[in-house]
């Protein structure tokens, strides 16, 4: 059996090294498994402390995906073993995933993520925290958790609230798929480079005179990527989100979820991108929609570490509640695409149930992520 993450070091002209980590599970579209996390986290820590390593590249094997999300099939098995109860396996997976995401966000060396192909859920959680986030002509990005009874986790609390007006709530509620131009517009990515230019970029990086000053190495990486972006920019697609910004502002009632849902669903327009967003919201979990709404409204001033701590509590409780396991069943286990959600619309969801999700299962000193700062 091949390793689920491949590690390599590229030696540059001046002797400095580039650490390369490749998610290596093409069959699953590089879905982020617990085993991958267990390998990535210590290796990143080691590279962060290694004075010979100037920067890190994180990529996915194959051409279809950087990472299509978390390994939710294994999460399904873990939740099914503890129906409507706390699952230690669920807690462990999300704890380790968020710890990895936080490390990427706070990594003190340049870290470039090559976000080619599908970048969803857990994949976006890794990409968005990197210092240099590259998307390509085939990038397809989404946080589609409303379709599986979850919510936009992996730091979604942080990055959805930092998008242009109302875009974060719209994307969180609809799980809409976005492209490379959208990713740049919504601050999920920094650079657009054609996928065919990847090796050319790496060759350039091998010739860079990397030093021991992280800030200067960040600048050198930025300059190298920008040179490739100039040659690629004509191939960047049109931004659906930017093109629909006025419509998004019209339909999103910032302080009223029911009105927002009704507004989105009542728009009559012949527009494939918007119509798909409407369908995802209409067929998604009403509980998830309520969680997303409270998640984004109650956390605007939270630190990144506190966002991850809150999300861990939310995710553990989603594993216990039953909506998440039902969503995975319908999508990936039985594949009937007919999830039996607990409530048919957001107005039916009791607020006391939503409030329960936001009560941490742990005291502050016992929180599994209490060492994030």
Catalytic residues: 70, 122, 145, 153
Considering Cα of 143, then 144, then 145, then 151, what sign does the dihedral take?
positive
Query: 123 and 67 in contact (C-beta within 8 Å)?
Result: yes
Mapped onto helix, strand or coil, the DSSP state of residue 150 is: coil
Considering Cα of 79, then 359, then 125, then 339, what sign does the dihedral take?
positive
Reading the block at residue 178, the tokens are 């976005």
Q: Which segments of 38-149 are extended strands (E)?
A: 53-60, 65-67, 111-115, 118-120, 132-135, 140-142
Written as one string, the DSSP assignment of 291-330 is HHHHHHHS-TT--HHHHHHHHHHHHHHHHHHSHHHHHHII
Q: Give the list of residues 6+ apart from residue 121 with CB closer than 8 angstroms, or none.
A: 68, 69, 70, 142, 143, 144, 145, 153, 154
Measure the CA–CA gap between 151 and 160, rounded to whole angstroms. Answer: 12
Query: 74 and 122 in contact (C-beta within 8 Å)?
Result: no
Q: What is the C-alpha end-to-end distance of the chain, expressed in Å?
A: 37
């Amino acid at each position: 059996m091949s390793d689920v993450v491949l590690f390599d070091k590229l030696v540059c002209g001046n002797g400095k090294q580039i650490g390369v980590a490749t998610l290596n599970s093409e069959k699953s579209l590089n879905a982020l498994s617990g085993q991958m996390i267990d390998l990535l986290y210590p290796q990143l820590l080691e590279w962060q402390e290694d004075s010979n390593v100037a920067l890190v590249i994180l990529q996915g094997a194959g051409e279809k995906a950087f990472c299509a999300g978390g390994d939710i099939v294994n999460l399904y098995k873990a939740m099914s073993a503890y129906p409507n109860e706390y699952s230690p396996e669920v807690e462990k997976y999300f704890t380790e995933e968020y710890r990895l995401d936080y490390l990427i966000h706070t990594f003190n060396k340049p870290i470039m993520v090559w976000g080619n192909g599908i970048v969803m859920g857990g994949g976006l959680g890794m990409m968005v925290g990197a210092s240099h986030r590259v998307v390509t002509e085939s990038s397809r990005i989404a946080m589609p958790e409303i379709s599986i009874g979850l919510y936009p986790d992996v730091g979604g609390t942080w990055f959805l609230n930092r998008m242009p007006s109302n875009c974060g709530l719209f994307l969180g509620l609809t799980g809409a798929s976005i492209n490379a131009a959208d990713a740049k517009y919504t601050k999920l990515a920094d650079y657009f480079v054609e996928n065919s230019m990847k090796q050319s970029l790496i060759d350039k990086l091998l010739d860079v005179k990397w030093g021991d000053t992280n800030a200067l190495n960040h600048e050198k990486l930025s300059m190298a990527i920008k040179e490739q972006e100039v040659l690629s920019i004509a191939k960047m697609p049109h931004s659906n989100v930017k093109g629909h910004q006025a419509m998004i502002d019209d339909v999103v009632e910032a302080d009223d979820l029911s009105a927002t849902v009704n507004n989105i669903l009542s728009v009559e327009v012949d527009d494939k991108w918007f119509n798909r967003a409407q369908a995802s919201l209409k067929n998604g979990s009403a509980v998830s929609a309520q969680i997303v709404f409270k998640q984004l409204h109650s956390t605007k001033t939270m630190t990144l570490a506190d966002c991850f701590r809150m999300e861990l509590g939310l995710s553990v409780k989603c594993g216990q509640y039953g909506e998440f396991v039902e969503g995975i069943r319908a999508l990936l286990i039985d594949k009937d695409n007919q999830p039996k959600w607990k409530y048919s619309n957001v107005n039916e969801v009791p607020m006391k149930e939503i409030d329960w999700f936001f009560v941490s299962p742990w005291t502050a000193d016992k929180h599994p992520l209490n060492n994030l700062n």
